[in-house]
């Protein structure tokens, strides 16, 4: 059996930047073990499986698709295990791009049924818009996580700490004076974070700093980096789900609903975040299509 496979870089218009992942189109559902084997074979941080919800559906006409996302076994795990990602927002972006590229589906919006509920993606002039759940944060007493912050940042000044119970992501805002270049060059020992925090309450660490905002040249409102060794990801290149949390926080801090963000990992990638009155978050990003082929199983 041959399965159409693609590699797409999300949140960028340039190849080899942004967040790379494999995308597989399925006529019929694969069992968990086979999907995990494919994810390990592709060897990307995540592999998205887009499938028909009903046998009579057509990739060229349907508006609703199934989306399951697997990642290769993380380096912290001594033997291969089944790992499925609950929130596949960035893959709805890739799926929207690839589905139109291959199937010529001209529906303005595609709905992806995932473990986290329905995620929608639609085409726009400046990229693809993902409709994600709003993930509010609340203030976190720094004393409760001071050891974790100390390991990640050493003596860097921290301005604010928030926590998202929906995602179990911890948001640490670095003092505004540090800026983008400091965050980009910061060395974080992500592997040891799991030794400090092993209660299961934290699944991801977001380090963020205020950006330059508007002005004569359009800048970014905030910058971030994302570490999730608890999920087997030392540092994620660009993370859509994290920005559903970051967007909520920075919208309140900046008093605006339209925000430009950049995740300054080594690959790097940018996006536009729009907070909707409905309680949803629109994240707009571009994609770069870099590989197309078939997987034989």
Query: What are the extents of the domains in the chain?
Result: 2-131+285-296, 138-275
Q: What is the dihedral of CA 6, 7, 12, 16, to 10 degrees?
A: -150
Q: What is the pLDDT of residues 205-252, one digit of tens each?
A: 999 999 987 544 468 999 999 999 998 889 999 999 899 999 999 999
What does the block give as tokens for 229? 């060794």
CATH architecture of 138-275: Roll (3.10)
**DSSP letters of the chain?**
-EEEEEEEEES-SSTT-SEEEEEEEESSPPPHHHHHHHHHHHTSS-EEEEEESSTT--TTT-SEEEEEEE-PPPTTSSS----B-S--HHHHHHHHHHHHHHH----SEEEEEETTEEEEEEEETTEEEEEEE----EE--GGGGHHHHHHHHTT--EEEEEEETTTTEEEEEEPTTSHHHHHHH----GGGHHHH--SSS-SEEEEEEE---SSSS---SEEEEEEEGGGTEEEES--HHHHHHHHHHHHHHHT-SEEEEEE-SSS-EEEEEEE-TTSEEEEEE-EEEEEEEEEE-
> What's this model's pTM, rounded to 2 decimal places?
0.86
The answer to whether residue 29 is catalytic is: no
Q: What is the pLDDT of residues 140-163, one digit of tens each?
A: 999 999 999 999 999 999 999 999
CATH architecture of 2-131+285-296: Roll (3.10)
Among residues 14, 27, 29, 46, which one is catalytic? 46
Mean of per-residue pLDDT scores for the chain = 87
pLDDT at position 105 over 70: no
pLDDT at position 182 over 80: yes
Lowest-pLDDT choice from 127-136, 215-224, 258-267: 215-224
- Domain 2-131+285-296 and domain 138-275 have a common topology: yes
pLDDT at position 86 over 90: no
Residue 48: name the closest of 108, 110, 105, 109 by CA: 110
């Amino acid at each position: 059996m041959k399965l159409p496979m693609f590699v797409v870089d999300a949140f960028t218009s340039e190849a080899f930047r942004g967040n790379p992942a494999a995308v597989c189109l399925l006529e019929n559902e694969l069992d968990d073990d086979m999907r995990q084997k494919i994810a390990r074979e592709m060897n990307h941080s995540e592999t998205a499986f887009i499938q028909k919800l009903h046998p009579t559906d057509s990739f060229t006409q349907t508006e609703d698709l199934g989306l399951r996302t697997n990642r290769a076994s993380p380096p912290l795990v001594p033997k291969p295990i089944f790992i499925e990602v609950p929130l596949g927002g960035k893959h709805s972006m890739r799926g929207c791009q690839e589905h139109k590229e291959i199937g010529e589906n001209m529906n303005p919006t595609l709905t992806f049924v995932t473990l986290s509920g329905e995620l929608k993606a639609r085409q726009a002039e400046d990229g693809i818009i993902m409709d994600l759940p709003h993930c509010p944060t609340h203030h976190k007493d720094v004393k409760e996580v001071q050891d974790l912050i100390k390991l990640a940042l050493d003596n860097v000044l921290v301005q604010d700490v928030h926590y998202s119970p929906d995602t179990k992501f911890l948001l640490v805002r670095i003092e505004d004076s540090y800026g983008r270049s400091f965050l980009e060059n910061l060395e974080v020992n992500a592997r040891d974070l799991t030794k400090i925090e092993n209660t299961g309450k934290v699944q991801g660490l977001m380090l963020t700093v205020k950006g330059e905002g508007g002005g004569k040249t359009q800048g970014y409102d905030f910058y971030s980096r994302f570490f999730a060794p608890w999920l087997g990801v030392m540092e994620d290149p660009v993370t859509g789900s994290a920005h559903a949390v970051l967007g909520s926080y920075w919208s309140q801090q900046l008093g605006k609903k339209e925000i430009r963000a950049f995740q300054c990992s080594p690959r790097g990638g940018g996006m536009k975040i729009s907070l909707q009155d409905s309680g949803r978050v629109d994240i707009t990003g571009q994609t770069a299509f870099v590989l197309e082929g078939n997987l034989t199983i």
